[in-house]
Amino acid sequence: MGRAGKAAGRAAPAGAAAVSRQVRAVVPVLLLLVAACWALSSFVDVSLQDRPGVRLKLPAHLGGWAGHELRFCHEASCKKEHRLEDLTGDPTKCPACGGGLHAMTVEEYEQLPKDTEFIKAIYQSGAGESVYVSIVLTGRDRESIHRPERCLTGQGHTILSRDVREFPMQGRDPLKAMVFLNERKIETAQGAYGYLSYYAYWFVGQGRETPDHYMRMLWLAWDRVVHSVAHRWAYISVSGRRDKDSGEYLHQLGDFLPLLHDAIVLRPGDAAPGAAAQSAATRNPVSAPQ
């Protein structure tokens, strides 16, 4: 290493220490601000706004993708996944075991407040690719959306990387989505292998979108304190498989996400279906008045 390299090497720790001091100075202020927001939000009279920022309906077609809404059996011995259109009999009964069918898996059902609304579908392209889409819409408990990391690791995924990616949209700013690259160990009779997947998500409030869980929580607190309202937030996720060391999944997302966004995110002035007009099937069937 030359003289300049050594000098740069010595300078770096001093610079890092200065940045570290600045960060340490800002953290208490930020913490106080957040604490003040939450304290205030507990005392002000907040009105709950039922108008969501998305349509809780997934179209049958998105460009070249064909969608199939899903239902999940909650019987522990069955847990089969069905396409809604294949349920020719009673769409609330599992044709395999007679158990109840729901719009969410039993694990999701157990974690979410009972008035959370949920819709899930699989989309398939002519080239044989598949992506899963889900929309979670908060109920009266506006803080019912968990950190996505918690759900994924609970399902056995290891998160290898996380990045906010921008996807170009026509006529508006790019859509920013958080993209996780995951691996899940699958045990088979032939041995274990790693199932590689991606998981992209973003949140939609009333005229607001963010890929950041904490920014969503900050806006929730801000709207409560400054505007005295608590909006419903939607958590939209898209996931699929990926090949090792390939960026093809980004092309898949770049094709799919703008189509999905155009179909579900409401623009100012759009006639929104009220909560009561949402499909009854997507509402948790045991929802109880609170």
180-199 residues near Zn ion, rule: CB under 5 A: none
Contact call for residue 52 and Zn ion (CB under 5 A): no
Contact call for residue 96 and Zn ion (CB under 5 A): yes
Q: How far is the CB of 95 from Zn ion (least distance, A)?
A: 8
Rounded to the nearest 10 degrees, the angle between the axes of helix 213-226 and helix 3-43 is 40
Rounded alpha-carbon distances, angstroms, from residue 66 to 18, 32, 61, 150, 201: 54, 49, 5, 30, 20
Q: Which stretch binds Zn ion (CB under 5 A): 25-33, 74-82, 198-206, 268-276?
A: 74-82
Q: How far is the CB of 201 from Zn ion (least distance, A)?
A: 28
Kindly tell me which residue out of 11, 78, 164, 169 binds Zn ion, with binding defined by CB under 5 A.
78
Kindly tell me which residue out of 75, 129, 141, 149 binds Zn ion, with binding defined by CB under 5 A.
75
What DSSP string describes 152-219?
HHHTTEEEEEEEEEEEEETTEEEEEEEEEEEEEEEEETTEEEEEEEEEEEEEE-SS-EES-HHHHHHH
Strands (E), the chain: 47-49, 61-62, 65-73, 81-83, 101-102, 117-125, 130-137, 157-169, 172-188, 191-204, 209-210, 229-231, 234-241
Q: Which is nearer to Zn ion, 96 or 186 (CB)?
A: 96
Contact call for residue 87 and Zn ion (CB under 5 A): no
Contact call for residue 17 and Zn ion (CB under 5 A): no
Q: Which is nearer to Zn ion, 72 or 202 (CB)?
A: 72
Contact call for residue 90 and Zn ion (CB under 5 A): no
Q: Which is nearer to Zn ion, 63 or 100 (CB)?
A: 100
At 276, is the secondary structure helix, strand, or coil? helix
Q: Which stretch binds Zn ion (CB under 5 A): 21-29, 52-60, 93-101, 272-280?
A: 93-101
Can you tell me the distance from the alpha carbon of 3 to that of 262, in angstroms, rounded to the nearest whole number? 56
Q: How far is the CB of 157 from Zn ion (least distance, A)?
A: 24
Contact call for residue 94 and Zn ion (CB under 5 A): yes
Count residues binding Zn ion (CB under 5 A).
Answer: 8
Please name the amino acid found at residue 226: V
Q: Which stretch binds Zn ion (CB under 5 A): 82-90, 92-100, 147-155, 193-201?
A: 92-100
Residues in Cβ contact with 75 at an 8 Å cutoff, skipping those fewer than 6 apart: 94, 97, 99, 100
Q: Which stretch binds Zn ion (CB under 5 A): 10-18, 71-79, 112-120, 198-206?
A: 71-79
Q: Record the tokens describing residue 140, joined without a space.
A: 């009266």
Contact call for residue 92 and Zn ion (CB under 5 A): no
Q: Which positions lie near Zn ion, rule CB under 5 A?
A: 73, 75, 78, 80, 94, 96-97, 99
